[in-house]
């Protein structure tokens, strides 16, 4: 089955598409023939991505301002969508780091606002439109393997991603009646621009040795699972969390 072909012609909104995995998912969807809208706060990064996609022959790519923590910004973003939406990719996320015992409350709140309140706001917006129009949309939440296990120094992040896992299941249950599917991808450690320096450090190298497949993920390692969830290739699949992590979740204790 050609998973990419099953996304052709669909309209996909990717949040947090100004860098890293979000930009990668936007390129992937566009390369499959989907119409892509990319959203985030850093407009200049979005415009550079749109120019890149345009140059590759994509049509109708839109860059939309979005702060997922702000209900007005989410409403404006959905109002500005250039066409009815088929796929929402909740990718925007921040990690926040530091020992829990001394972590400023603002840091906890920021992680929850971005990683939990954000997908709640965008998902409920999308679902209302789909329910009212009868369109059968699908949501892909970008969770993490820390939704299942924990890592030191990122307690709020782990809490938020575990919450996102449960949000995925709860909304899948409520919205199955509308034909709306909600699934989550749980990547392991994937090298992107924000963590490249860490993985080059001794601590980062030690972490890589604990991954059973002994290497970091590359963004394209996520493609097949992402397309399975984003396309209509698995129409009876909802409420699932799919890890793609080089075996990290099954590493020996
Ligand atoms: N890289 C990994 O190893 C890994 C592993 C598991 C899960 N993930 C998840 O994958 C997603 C992407 O991570 P990444 O590694 O690609 O990191 P990244 O390069 O820092 O990307 C994060 C994106 O989120 C956006 N964002 C942050 N706060 C936002 C807000 N309030 N409103 C709208 N957009 C916001 C950022 O855009 P602006 O700053 O322009 O708004 C940026 O485009 C995250 O949810 C992360 O938790 C990553």
Kindly report, residue by residue over 220-241, the tens digit of the pLDDT: 999 999 999 999 999 999 999 9
Residue-number span of the structural domain to which 27 is assigned: 4-240
Say if pTM beats, i.e. exceeds, 0.95: yes
Q: Is the CB of 182 under 6 A from ligand 1?
A: no
Query: What is the DSSP track for 106-139?
Result: HHHHHHHIIIIIHHHHHHHHHHHHHHHHT---EE
Nearest ligand 1 atom to the CA of 143 is 7
189 noted as active-site residue: no
Domain contains 78 = yes
Domain contains 245 = no
What value does the mean pLDDT take over residues 26-45?
A: 98
Domain contains 77 = yes
What value does the mean pLDDT take over residues 79-95?
A: 98
Sign of the four-CA dihedral 190, 9, 237, 66: positive
Total number of domains in the chain = 1
Domain contains 212 = yes
Choose the residue to mutate in 15, 21, 24, 117 for probing ligand 1, maximizing ligand atoms within 8 Å of C-beta.
21
Ligand 1 centroid, distance to 91 Cα (angstroms) = 6
Q: Is the CB of 156 under 6 A from ligand 1?
A: no
Nearest ligand 1 atom to the CA of 113 is 31
Domain contains 253 = no
Ligand 1 centroid, distance to 109 Cα (angstroms) = 16
CB 98 within 8 A of CB 21: no
Q: How confident is the model at residue 198 (pLDDT cuts 50, 70, 90)?
A: confident
Ligand 1 centroid, distance to 239 Cα (angstroms) = 22
Nearest ligand 1 atom to the CA of 193 is 19
Domain contains 249 = no
Ligand 1 centroid, distance to 169 Cα (angstroms) = 22
Domain contains 101 = yes
Count how many Cα atoms sit within 13 Å of the Cα of residue 219 in the half-sphere of its side chain. Answer: 14
User: Out of 25, 78, 108, 157, which one is annotated catalytic?
Assistant: 157
Q: How confident is the model at residue 195 (pLDDT cuts 50, 70, 90)?
A: confident
Q: What is the CATH number of the domain that holds 219?
A: 3.40.50.720
What value does the mean pLDDT take over residues 163-192?
A: 98
Q: Is the CB of 16 under 6 A from ligand 1?
A: yes
What value does the mean pLDDT take over residues 6-19?
A: 98
Domain contains 69 = yes
C-beta contacts of 154-159 below 8 A and 24+ residues apart: 154/95, 154/96, 154/97, 155/100, 155/103, 156/96, 156/100, 156/103, 156/107, 156/108, 156/111, 156/112, 157/94, 157/95, 157/96, 157/97, 157/111, 157/115, 159/111, 159/112
Mean residue pLDDT across the chain? 97
pLDDT value of position 233: 97
Say yes or no to pLDDT of 65 above 90. Answer: yes
What value does the mean pLDDT take over residues 6-15?
A: 98
Residue nearest to atom 42 of ligand 1 (CA): 16
Q: How confident is the model at residue 197 (pLDDT cuts 50, 70, 90)?
A: confident
Phi, psi at residue 34, to the nearest 5°?
Answer: -80, 155
pLDDT value of position 196: 83
pLDDT value of position 20: 97
């Amino acid at each position: 089955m050609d998973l990419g072909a099953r996304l052709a012609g669909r309209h996909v909104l990717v949040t947090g598409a100004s860098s890293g995995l979000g930009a990668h998912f936007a390129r992937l969807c566009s390369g499959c023939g989907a119409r892509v809208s990319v959203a985030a706060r850093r407009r200049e990064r979005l415009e550079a991505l749109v120019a890149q996609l345009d140059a590759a022959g994509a049509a109708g790519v839109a860059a939309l301002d979005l702060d997922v923590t702000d209900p007005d910004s989410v409403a404006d973003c959905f109002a500005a969508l250039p066409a009815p939406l088929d796929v929402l990719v909740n990718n925007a996320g921040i990690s926040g780091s530091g020992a829990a015992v001394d972590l400023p409350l603002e840091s906890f709140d920021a992680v929850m606002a971005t990683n939990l309140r954000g997908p709640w706001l965008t998902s409920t917006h999308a679902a209302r439109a789909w329910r009212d129009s009868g369109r059968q949309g699908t949501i892909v939440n970008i969770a993490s393997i820390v939704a299942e296990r924990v890592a030191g120094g990122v307690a709020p992040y782990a809490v938020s991603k575990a919450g996102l896992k449960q949000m995925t299941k709860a909304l899948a249950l409520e919205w199955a009646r509308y034909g709306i599917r909600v699934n989550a991808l749980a990547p392991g450690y994937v090298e992107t621009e924000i963590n490249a320096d860490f993985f080059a450090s001794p601590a980062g190298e030690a972490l890589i040795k604990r991954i059973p497949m002994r290497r970091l993920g590359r963004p394209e390692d996520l493609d097949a699972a992402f397309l399975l969830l984003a396309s209509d290739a698995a129409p009876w699949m909802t409420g699932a969390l799919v890890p793609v992590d080089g075996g990290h979740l099954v590493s020996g204790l």
